[in-house]
Amino acid sequence: MKHRISRRTMLRGASAVVSLPLLDIMRPAVDAVGKMSDRTTRMCYLYFPNGSADGSWEPHKVGPQGELLKLNQWMKPLEPFKQDILIPRKVWTPRGNGHGAGTATWLTGSSYDGRSIDAGGISVDQLASKHIGQNTLLPSLELSMRGEGFFSNSLCRNSISWTSSNTPVPREVEPRVIFDRMFRTQTGGLSDKSVLDQVLADARDLQRRGSAADQRKLDEYLESLRSIERRIAFAGKQAERARNNSALSQSLIRPEPGIPGDHGEYMRLMFDLVVMAFWADATRICTFMLDHGQSNRYFNFIEGVEGTWHALSHWKDASGKTEDDDGVTSWRNVKEKKAMYNLVTQWHHEQVAFFLARLKSIQEPTGGSLLDNSMILYGSNLADGHEHSAKSLPLLVAGHGSGTIKSGREVRFHRDKTMSNLHLSMLQAVGVKLDRFGDSTGPMTELSGA
């Protein structure tokens, strides 16, 4: 190869700029033993509200050293990835476990003061952003599904990222806006012309200069980008179609322009945008709220499920007459309601499995897949939703953190551990030199198998 290009090289068009995946033609140069000198580690925090039913997060079968041999029926979607995940048990958040305070402090490891809107400190993602965010186009990316229910506008229930104790980071809920942040320039106007059409000449030139492997990677990357463009355009056309057809608009629950009406398609599109952000190195840090902290979203689109997520989380009350219910839905018994609650948990595992599969399918020149080179914390601020318990939270860590995490295990602590220890370990894994975070007592060294 005659020459190399910078890792920060981008494809450019009149009003578009496209970050690129790591290619052979990029620096750093190959070292003496034929391997890239460093891997890039990504951090992702996936939050879901309303906890999970007691027992639904317990693996079905665990080996003598904690090996994950078989996941339970509700976690079955994650079974293909059991060697890529670590499940810590007996981890808790001692400073705030409600829908509001627990959501706001999930990543700060502190307490929440609602009167002064104070989450007790900077969140772990934003602290990481201060140290490694300057290396990318976006220091961090904050996403959320559009909220549903009474508490959709509650600040504390919609904020897990904080730049300071009293400054929440705004979240993006519309795919088109997220796409534009990553791939559109801020000058020259935002035309409707495809981003790829605008940068095609630059892409062809780069393909001519790259290796055969680079050409293949670029083809795969640009096709993924094109696919997202098509899906966003389709969502916009469907919304326009509904607006212009009174009969159709009366039969559809129409989302805002650019947001798919199908909740699963919407979530998978958002996950695809996270994959693209990591693949392009547009950012290395992302938070994604799968809903706000007290979601009343109806999951009736799941076969066998009736009622809102929050109502289902209070599964020990089946009458349908409590303050948490909608006044319409009731259940035959507690067993039926708990099963529906578990089906909602399982549905979210299916979406996360989609995300992990996408990350695992993308190989990097430095070694390993995007999943190998990521640390993904997926979980809730509540344990059993009915009890509002903060003990033994439903959490898992996916990815291998560029070799810093020994996955495929359940780690069951003898004593309760604060979640801040987990946050501290993840910060240290990406090179943040800290000895303490939140209410930590030390890093969770068990992540690496130590």
Q: What is the pLDDT of residue 413?
A: 93
Q: What is the mean pLDDT of the chain?
A: 83
pLDDT of 190 over the 50 cut = no
Most confidently modeled of 101-105, 179-183, 199-203, 278-282? 101-105
Mean pLDDT throughout 313-326? 92
Question: Which residue type is seen at 318?
Answer: A
Return all residues near 218 (Cβ < 8 A) that are at least 6 apart. Answer: 20, 21, 23, 203, 206, 207, 210
Mean pLDDT throughout 53-62? 95
Question: Which tens digits make up the pLDDT trace of 24-51?
Answer: 666 553 333 334 346 789 999 999 999 9
Which one has a higher pLDDT value, 166 or 246?
166
The model's confidence at residue 250, banded by pLDDT at 50, 70 and 90, is very low
pLDDT of 152 over the 90 cut = no
Cβ of 445: how many Cβ atoms within 10 Å? Answer: 11
The model's confidence at residue 1, banded by pLDDT at 50, 70 and 90, is very low
For the chain, the domains span 1-38+185-258, 44-173+284-448
Q: What is the pLDDT of residue 298?
A: 94
The model's confidence at residue 200, banded by pLDDT at 50, 70 and 90, is low
pLDDT of 234 over the 80 cut = no
d(CA 73, CA 52): 14
Residue 249 near residue 243 (C-beta atoms within 8 A): yes
The model's confidence at residue 178, banded by pLDDT at 50, 70 and 90, is confident
φ, ψ of residue 11 in degrees (nearest 5): -85, 135
d(CA 286, CA 347): 22
Strand, coil or helix: 443: coil
Mean pLDDT throughout 208-225? 73
The model's confidence at residue 251, banded by pLDDT at 50, 70 and 90, is very low
pLDDT of 374 over the 90 cut = yes
d(CA 436, CA 220): 41
Sign of the dihedral through C-alpha 428, 430, 433, 434: negative
Q: What is the pLDDT of residue 137?
A: 78
The model's confidence at residue 5, banded by pLDDT at 50, 70 and 90, is low
Which one has a higher pLDDT value, 191 or 150?
150
Q: Which of 418, 13, 26 is nearest to 218 (CA)?
A: 26
Q: What is the pLDDT of residue 249?
A: 44
* Total residues found in the chain within this entry: 450
Which one has a higher pLDDT value, 355 or 222?
355
pLDDT of 134 over the 50 cut = yes
Q: What is the pLDDT of residue 136?
A: 81
Q: What is the pLDDT of residue 193?
A: 60
pLDDT of 176 over the 70 cut = yes
Residue 273 near residue 224 (C-beta atoms within 8 A): no
Percent of the chain beyond pLDDT 70? 77
Question: Which tens digits make up the pLDDT trace of 381-424?
Answer: 999 988 887 778 999 999 999 999 999 999 999 889 999 999 99
The model's confidence at residue 97, banded by pLDDT at 50, 70 and 90, is low
Mean pLDDT throughout 52-66? 95
List for the chain the helix, strand, coil content (%; round to 5).
35, 15, 50
pLDDT of 248 over the 60 cut = no
Q: What is the pLDDT of residue 339?
A: 97
Mean pLDDT throughout 56-68? 96
Q: What is the pLDDT of residue 10?
A: 57
Percent of the chain beyond pLDDT 90? 54
pLDDT of 13 over the 70 cut = no
Q: What is the pLDDT of residue 260?
A: 85
pLDDT of 263 over the 50 cut = yes
Residue 117 near residue 167 (C-beta atoms within 8 A): no
Which one has a higher pLDDT value, 208 or 146?
146
Domain 44-173+284-448 has CATH 3.90.550: no
Q: Which of 300, 320, 325 is nearest to 310 (CA)?
A: 325
Residue 216: C-alpha distances to residues 139, 205, 245 (Å) = 28, 14, 43
Q: Which of 17, 188, 367 is nearest to 8 (CA)?
A: 17
Q: What is the pLDDT of residue 276?
A: 85
pLDDT of 272 over the 70 cut = yes
d(CA 388, CA 371): 32
Q: Give me the residue label for tokens 């990316």.
A: 141
Distance of CA 180 to the CA centre of its chain: 19
d(CA 286, CA 273): 11
d(CA 341, CA 316): 11
Q: What is the pLDDT of residue 151?
A: 77
| DSSP designation for 387 | T
Using DSSP bridges, classify how beta strands 68-70 and 61-62 pair: parallel, antiparallel or unpaired.
antiparallel
